[in-house]
Amino acid sequence: MGLLLTENHLGETCVVCEQTKYKGIHLYTSFICLDCEKELITTDTSNPKYKYFLNQLRKINTPEIYS
């Protein structure tokens, strides 16, 4: 549990805004900050920013290959 608190204290990089934030959700191995999550779910699909969100979220589907 100490490790979890340390990670939250240091922050994580949001996959959408690419900024270091302290609160958010994890989706697979990616982190989405609360601000982006809130904006994403309230943005209308006809808004041009929605396409930006989709492009950023596509990063989550790309599996990392470790060799």
What is the pLDDT at residue 9? 60
Q: Which residues pair with 21 in a beta bridge?
A: 12
What is the pLDDT at residue 64? 62
Which residue, chain included where needed, has tokens 């006809």? 46
Query: What is the reported pTM?
Result: 0.72
Q: Within the chain, where are the H helices?
A: 2-10, 34-42, 48-61
Which residue, chain included where needed, has tokens 């601000």? 35
Which residue, chain included where needed, has tokens 């943005």? 43
Render each residue's pLDDT in the chain as its tens digit; 67 residues.
Answer: 444 444 446 789 999 999 999 999 998 888 999 999 999 999 999 999 999 999 999 888 666 666 6
Structural element, H or E, at residue 58:
helix 48-61
